[in-house]
Amino acid sequence: MIEAALAAICSFTLVRPLGVPWWIPLVCFVAMAAVIGGMQRVAHHRTEGFWSGIAVLRGMRGRTWIIALVCVAVVLQIARNWLLLNWSGVDASVLDSTALLIGLAVVGLFPVGPSLGAAAAVLILGTNGVAASAAAGTLLTATAAVGAVCFASWALVDRLWPRTATAGAAAA
């Protein structure tokens, strides 16, 4: 939800590249503020079962950490987009990189269409320099896959580490 709220805040970057009306970012921001407010209300009133997953919204400390971590992750993704676009020969600004991040996230939700990668990058960045945009999209897909494998490996090690340490202590 925090990432979606950041996307709503930064969706003004899509106005020019995709021809989105100027008022759409405002509507998205208001909608996300309402959703987060509703989730916070639910987190305070329902504490068991399925709803325990949003328990972090109950207190300011947990909420602040989550927001900070998501902001760092989004800034790093925008930096990755900017670096890969410029290394591929696309003259892209930070706003273009932000628009690409939001656009790829939105386009990736559709069940059919350009999906993620080269086709989506060309769709979002335009047809000026198709080869460079497609190359950047391919690199974005590859680096995202490497990042996902690293994250999954970290989760697996984190999940297995306490069991190994506990088993060794029990054996001793």
Q: Report the candidate in 167, 81, 158 with the shortest Cα–Cα distance to residue 124.
A: 81
Q: Degrees (nearest 5) of the Cα angle 155, 156, 159?
A: 85
Q: Contact, 95 vs 78, CB < 8 A?
A: no
* Tokens standing for residue 115: 């999906």
Q: Contact, 136 vs 88, CB < 8 A?
A: yes
Q: Can you give the pLDDT at residue 158?
A: 85
- DSSP structure class, residue 154: H
Backbone torsion region of residue 113, taken as left when φ is above 0, otherwise alpha when ψ lies between -120 and 50, otherwise beta: left
Establish how many alpha carbons lie within 13 A of residue 84's alpha carbon, considering only the half-sphere containing its beta carbon: 25
168: exposed, middle or buried (Cβ count in 10 Å: 0-12, 13-18, 19+): exposed
Q: Can you give the pLDDT at residue 153?
A: 92
Report the amino acid identity of residue 160.
Answer: L
Q: What sign does the CA torsion over 12, 18, 21, 27 have?
A: negative
Q: Can you give the pLDDT at residue 127?
A: 62
Q: Give the chain's radius of gyration (CA, Å).
A: 20
Angle between helix 118-125 and helix 94-107 axes, rounded to 10 deg: 130
Neighbours of 144 (CB within 10 A): 16
- Please state the pTM of the whole predicted model: 0.65
Mean pLDDT of successive 10-residue stretches along the chain, which has 172 residues: 78 76 87 84 74 67 78 88 83 81 71 62 67 75 81 87 58 55
Q: Can you give the pLDDT at residue 163?
A: 61
Query: Quick one: how far is CA 28 from the chain centroid?
Result: 16
